[in-house]
């Protein structure tokens, strides 16, 4: 027996926080013990990397290579210390972001070629994949306006809109190529978004 790994992905302001609440309740009702994680983060060391990567370093430019390596360093800590042990112990894991974020933000947004990302994926994940990814799709302008409503923007959130447009485009390509990914349109009233999320998770639970 082994648990399942469910990931929520999306641009800022896509509504990942409320999706986590809905899915958490559905899995708990299904009677499965659940571990929730976020990336970058989820272990003491990975949380330190999160603070480091989100910080604005003022005059010191954060290179795209450093950003990419930090994302995978944090992921290695989380996957090996938390996610895989939980799944091996028949627990379910619900993740706020995972590997698709690096492929979309660093691959799409930062335009880092796959030839640089793939070796890091192989080292870090060794073929380990989510059982279900819910990608919450939002137009960047709408998502950023929602995120701005919450206060100060971090280093990555301060990027130009074209960065988020490339990131979204890559997300949509990755979802089209992944039979375990479901795209949820979040540019509709919250009630409809929540209905779509509930439908997608219930469909998955029915099969498991």
Q: How far is the CB of 90 from ligand Z5A (least distance, A)?
A: 26
Whether the Cβ atoms of residue 172 and residue 44 lie closer than 8 Å to each other: no
- Residue corresponding to tokens 């870090």: 124
Write the DSSP string, 144-191: HHHHHTTS---TTTTS-HHHHHHHHHHHHHHHHT-TTEEEEE-SS-HH
Q: How many residues bind ligand Z5A (CB under 6 A)?
A: 25
The tokens describing 123, both together, are: 């080292």
Q: Applying CB under 6 A, does 12 fall inside the site for ligand Z5A?
A: yes
Whether the Cβ atoms of residue 174 and residue 100 lie closer than 8 Å to each other: yes
Q: Applying CB under 6 A, does 13 fall inside the site for ligand Z5A?
A: yes
Among 3, 4, 7, 14, binds ligand Z5A (CB under 6 A): 14
- Using CB under 6 A, which of the segments 10-18, 25-33, 81-89, 176-184 binds ligand Z5A? 10-18
Binding residues among 15-74 for ligand Z5A as defined by CB under 6 A: 15-18, 39-40, 71
Binding residues among 174-203 for ligand Z5A as defined by CB under 6 A: 186, 190, 193
Q: Applying CB under 6 A, does 78 fall inside the site for ligand Z5A?
A: no
> Is residue 31 packed enough to be buried (19+ CB in 10 Å), middle (13-18) or exposed (0-12)?
exposed
- Using CB under 6 A, which of the segments 8-16, 21-29, 57-65, 195-203 binds ligand Z5A? 8-16
- Using CB under 6 A, which of the segments 82-90, 94-102, 127-135, 173-181 binds ligand Z5A? 94-102
- Residue corresponding to tokens 């370093």: 57
CA distance 161 to 74: 26
CA distance 50 to 46: 6
Q: Applying CB under 6 A, does 97 fall inside the site for ligand Z5A?
A: yes
Among 5, 6, 10, 182, binds ligand Z5A (CB under 6 A): 10
Q: Which stretches of the chain are assigned E, i.e. beta strand?
A: 5-10, 34-38, 92-96, 132-137, 181-185
| CB of 77 or CB of 106, closer to ligand Z5A | 106
Which residues contribute to the site for ligand Z5A (CB under 6 A)? 10, 12-18, 39-40, 71, 97, 101-102, 105-106, 146-147, 149-150, 156-157, 186, 190, 193
């Amino acid at each position: 027996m082994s648990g399942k790994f469910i990931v929520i992905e999306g641009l800022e302001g896509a509504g990942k926080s409320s999706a986590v609440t809905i899915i958490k309740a559905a899995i708990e009702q299904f009677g499965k013990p659940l571990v929730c994680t976020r990336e970058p983060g989820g272990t003491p060391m990975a949380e330190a990397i999160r603070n480091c990567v989100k910080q604005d370093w003022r005059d010191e430019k954060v290179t795209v290579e450093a950003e990419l390596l930090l994302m995978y360093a944090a992921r290695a800590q989380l996957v090996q210390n938390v996610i895989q042990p939980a799944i091996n112990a028949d627990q379910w894991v619900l993740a706020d972001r995972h590997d698709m974020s690096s492929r979309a933000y660093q691959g799409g947004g930062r335009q880092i070629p796959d030839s640089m990302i793939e070796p890091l994926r192989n080292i870090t994940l060794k073929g380990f994949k989510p059982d279900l990814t819910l990608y919450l799709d939002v137009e960047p302008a709408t998502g950023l306006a929602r995120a701005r409503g919450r206060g100060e923007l971090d280093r990555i959130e301060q990027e130009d809109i074209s960065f988020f447009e490339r990131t979204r485009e890559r997300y949509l390509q990755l979802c089209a190529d992944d039979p375990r990914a479901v795209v949820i349109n979040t540019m509709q009233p919250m009630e409809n978004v929540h209905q779509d999320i509930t439908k997608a998770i219930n469909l998955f639970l029915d099969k498991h």
